[in-house]
Structure 1
Amino acid sequence: MSAQASGHHHHHRKSVFETERRVLIAVDGSQNAEYAFDFYCLFVSRPKDSVVLFHFMDPVSTSSDPDLAFEELKRYKGHYMEGLERMFASRARKHGLNPESMSFGFSCDPPEAGKAITTYVRQNPVDLIVIGCRGLSKFKKAFIGSVSDYVIRNSGVPTLTVPLNTSGQQKNS
């Protein structure tokens, strides 16, 4: 056996737990998003993870004037995101995770949520996507599931879909 073959070049490989991973978690105000986030915290998270919570919301506007509508949306977006960020930060703390390692991305067009995620992932390094697959609360049943399907097909990034399982029991399939 040549010296090379038996080579002692363990480049001091870092354990998986020391590697930094970038995780994108899709969130909206729904129970599904909360469940997916909790699932990540309990079963998936690692100390070195950096997390992007990627927000969705319905663009609600009462004004037909586009400039006013835009101002309104900006204001609404501010309140909405602050509320979500506070909520997820406190959930993270409950699980013993540091919310400081979490940042926030944003998209305000839920029907295009899948596209928004894949676009974000093309422009930013992401190692894992976590998405609730019955979530994104407020829009028609027709869209439901299509966001996670779209992301799985088009993101090119490993994607963990977390079905809402309110009983907390694993279903026997």
Structure 2
Amino acid sequence: MSTPKLLIAYDGSPNAQSAMHTVAGLFPGATAVLFYARQPLEGFAAHLEGHPALEKLQGLDAAALDVSEQIAADGAQLARDLGLIAEPLISSTMATASEAIVDTAEELNVDLIVLGSRGLRGFKATLLGSTSASVLHHATRPTLVIPSDAVAAARRNSRVVTPAE
């Protein structure tokens, strides 16, 4: 069996780092694209045409792109340190992160999409949305959502356990 081509959604968070460690153990030596989906500020900037604040906003967007590139590069380095063959990739699109992940997985013809889980539940998850849930619902590729140890422990602890009768 050949090693799979992975698209790893990576935002630099501890949960994303934890997912990276897990996937590197599951698929040693796999080829991975470390994908950071960012939304440029140009949608907001369109409403400021001719306004003096536009220049500041463009400077902020350039700085955000620099940070995005660093996050993706750091993720690719972590993946290489863990034994994966990895390269960074950044998306700058008005699409949501989940749409960018699904679209990029198709474009790159990956075998597996990998995401970490932040562990949001209830109303907070509904309000903020869930990238992993959206990717699961819309992806046409196999998708693996990996909770960090902390998220998994919190989920275990939140379950109501009833004694067996």
Calculate the TM-score normalised by the size of structure 2. 0.68
Match of 1:52 among 26, 33, 38: 33
Cα contact 1:54–1:106 (8 A) shared by 2: yes
Report the residue type matching 1:103 in the other structure.
E
Counterpart CA distance in 1 for 2:93 and 2:36 is 10
Calculate the TM-score normalised by the size of structure 1. 0.66
Q: Report the Cα offset of residue 143 of structure 1.
A: 2.8
Q: Report the Cα offset of residue 70 of structure 1.
A: 3.9
Cα contact 2:111–2:141 (8 A) shared by 1: yes
Identity of aligned residues (%): 24
Q: 1:105 to 1:32 in 2, by over 3 A?
A: same
Aligned length: 146
Moved more, 33-42 or 106-115: 106-115
Counterpart CA distance in 2 for 1:110 and 1:164 is 28
List per-residue Cα deviations over 1:10-61 (Å, max 9, x = no partner).
xxxxxx1xx142100111132111111111112x2232x2101110346579
Which structure has the highest strand share of the two?
2
Counterpart CA distance in 2 for 1:29 and 1:50 is 19
Cα contact 2:102–2:138 (8 A) shared by 1: yes
In structure 1, the residue matched to 2:66 is 78
Q: Where does structure 2 lack aligned partners over 5 or more consecutive residues?
A: 160-165
Cα contact 1:41–1:92 (8 A) shared by 2: no
Matched, 1:32 2:15: yes
Q: Report the Cα offset of residue 126 of structure 1.
A: 0.8
Match of 1:133 among 105, 111, 117: 117
Counterpart CA distance in 2 for 1:166 and 1:59 is 31
Q: Where does structure 1 lack aligned partners over 5 or more consecutive residues?
A: 1-15
Secondary structure, aligned partner of 2:149: coil
In structure 1, the residue matched to 2:163 is none
Q: Could you say which structure has the larger radius of gyration? A: 1
Cα contact 1:32–1:135 (8 A) shared by 2: no
Q: Map 1:7-156 to 2 at 5 A.
A: 16=1, 19-42=2-25, 44-47=26-29, 49-57=30-38, 59=40, 64=48, 68=55, 69-86=57-74, 88-90=76-78, 92-93=80-81, 95=82, 97-98=83-84, 101-108=85-92, 112-134=96-118, 141=125, 142-144=127-129, 146-156=130-140
Which structure has the highest helix share of the two?
2
In structure 2, the residue matched to 1:8 is none
